[in-house]
Amino acid sequence: MLDRYLHGRAEHISQEAPVPVVQVDGSEDRLGGAANVALNVVSLGARCTLVGAVGDDPNGRTVAGLLEAAGIEVDLVVAEDWRTTLKERVVSRQKQVARMDFETPMPSWIADEIAKRAEHRCRGVDALVIEDYDKGAVNIPQLVIESANGVPVIVDPKFKPFAEYRGAAILKPNRREFQRAVGHWPDEPALRQAGSALAKSSGVEAIALTRGGEGLTLLEASGDCLHLAALGIDVYDSTGAGDTVAATLGVCTARRWSRAESAHVANVAGGLVCAKSGTAAVGLPELNLALRSDSQVVPVPSGRRRLAAAVSRAQSNGEKVVFTNGCFDILHAGHVGYLKGARQLGDRLIVAVNDDDSVRRLKGRGRPVNNLEQRMRVLEELSSVDWVVSFSEETPETLLTEIRPDVLVKGGDYAPDEVVGADLVQGYGGEVRVLGLVEGCSTSQLVERIRSA
């Protein structure tokens, strides 16, 4: 869908009818529908391929252009006998005055073609998100779900019977959609019972019920229930919040996080987007910042015990975990290239960072230039880095013993057996690699040049 916003000022009431007259100053086009879900996925740093349909018309070409600009790979059915859905909103003083929908029924052949393309695109993916707006693009959900071939499926449904999504890992209805399926619930125990029973009878593993200002409730088919309170922010506009939650559930599930962890993060992301105007996406930096300030959520395993558990879980799923360590005081091009090279040696990269005291012992007075929290925060924002953990010991050997990575990487001109911890890693069957450094890139030299200047 294409979401178009007409911005202007409503300063008086029309003489023709009791409606405001808006003097339009400008317009803005945004991605809507499943395209907004895809935008949220890439905003969280993941790769995304969008399968869907647009009309062979100017609005369809606008959607395709916005998708390309956002870096979203597309496989779009372009239909000559159908026009792209347009939702046009008139906004005055940051409030919606009116909305006009331009929409026609979708020919049935489009759904068949979308299902075929989805089956082709599901090869090699980590998760599949189905956005079913009940507009005709997903006529028979089982055709798409079965094409996933074991990949976890997250579904954002509308008003089809939930059993039509049998086999999904997570079904994400809102309050209205859920209530249509189960009716009224008098209290929380009744909600938990009805939700778990519905998940079980529908053949889905769990239902993530979004409840607006009440937060999100995760209802497992097993009977377990987890309620997450809404983020404590002022709600500006709830448009597209469900899209953000679905996208975040998809990204977290693709990273093989548990449903509880995924729901925590998705709940915070959904709250953040409600503070924005119109259909919007949540970026990774703002989400990480909100997660760090939310005591209920731990987005990335930061403690050693939690990190060890996450590494073990990743390895049990066949992922190769790479480990490197250093001070990373002033991040420069050499660091970025080195970490990118290290990440290419496996599926996950852990960066262990010397705490401030150990940097002073290693580098001398006046170091580090940036404190531990700042250094870790910068590293967390690199797309090549999965986990960041600090250590206070002289060497990372104790940390290596606890988490047992598959590959230990160091930069420089060492021989592999000269790397600290090499004997330990090789002793349990791990690999040690040495990557060269970029010439002319040195934190110590940078510090010296700044002092000299």
pLDDT digits (tens, 9 = 90+) for 145-164: 988 888 999 999 988 999 99
What's the pTM?
Answer: 0.64
Instruction: Kindly report whether the peptide bond that precedes residue 107 is cis, defined as omega within 30 degrees of 0.
Output: no
Phi/psi at 365 (5° precision): -60, 140
Q: How far is CA 270 from the centre of its chain?
A: 11
How many residues are listed for the chain in this entry?
A: 453
Distance CA(224)–CA(208), nearest Å, equals: 12
440 band by pLDDT with thresholds 50, 70 and 90:
low
Tally of CA atoms within 13 A in the half-sphere of 43 that contains its CB: 22
439 band by pLDDT with thresholds 50, 70 and 90:
low
443 band by pLDDT with thresholds 50, 70 and 90:
low
pLDDT above 90: percentage of residues in the chain: 48
Mean pLDDT, to the nearest integer, of 48-71? Answer: 95
185 or 445, which is more confident?
185
435 or 442, which is more confident?
435
Distance CA(169)–CA(179), nearest Å, equals: 20
Q: What's the pLDDT at 364?
A: 79
Residue 301 has pLDDT above 50, yes or no: no
Q: What's the pLDDT at 137?
A: 92
Residue 250 has pLDDT above 90, yes or no: yes
292 or 438, which is more confident?
292
Q: How far is CA 45 from the centre of its chain?
A: 7
Residue 350 has pLDDT above 50, yes or no: yes
- Specify whether the CB–CB gap between 77 and 53 falls below 8 A: yes
Sequence-ordered alpha helix ranges (H) in 317-368: 333-343, 356-363
Mean pLDDT, to the nearest integer, of 287-310? Answer: 62
Residue 78 has pLDDT above 90, yes or no: yes
Q: What's the pLDDT at 409?
A: 94
Which of 257-266, 288-297, 385-394 comes out lowest in average pLDDT? Answer: 288-297
pLDDT above 70: percentage of residues in the chain: 92
Q: 């799923």: which residue's tokens?
A: 317
Distance CA(416)–CA(408), nearest Å, equals: 10
Give the residue from 59, 64, 88, 84 showing the smallest Cα distance to 74: 64
- Distance (Å) of CA 149 to CA 121, 124, 142, 253, 372: 11, 10, 12, 16, 44
Which of 184-198, 278-292, 366-380, 438-452 comes out lowest in average pLDDT? Answer: 438-452
Distance CA(163)–CA(183), nearest Å, equals: 16
Instruction: List the structure tokens of 72.
Output: 């979203």
Mean pLDDT, to the nearest integer, of 266-284? Answer: 80
Q: What's the pLDDT at 176?
A: 92
Give the residue from 54, 391, 44 showing the smallest Cα distance to 246: 44
Q: What's the pLDDT at 239?
A: 66
Residue 11 has pLDDT above 90, yes or no: no
- Specify whether the CB–CB gap between 2 and 85 falls below 8 A: yes
Q: What's the pLDDT at 149?
A: 83
Q: What's the pLDDT at 383?
A: 82
DSSP state of 163: G
Q: What's the pLDDT at 369?
A: 82
Give the residue from 125, 381, 350 showing the smallest Cα distance to 250: 125
Q: What's the pLDDT at 38?
A: 95
Residue 447 has pLDDT above 70, yes or no: no
Q: What's the pLDDT at 167?
A: 94
Give the residue numbers annotated as catalytic, written as ranges: 243
Mean pLDDT, to the nearest integer, of 397-423? Answer: 86
Distance CA(157)–CA(207), nearest Å, equals: 11
- Specify whether the CB–CB gap between 49 and 79 falls below 8 A: no
Mean pLDDT, to the nearest integer, of 283-303? Answer: 61
Type of residue at 435: L
236 band by pLDDT with thresholds 50, 70 and 90:
very low
Mean pLDDT, to the nearest integer, of 165-174? Answer: 95
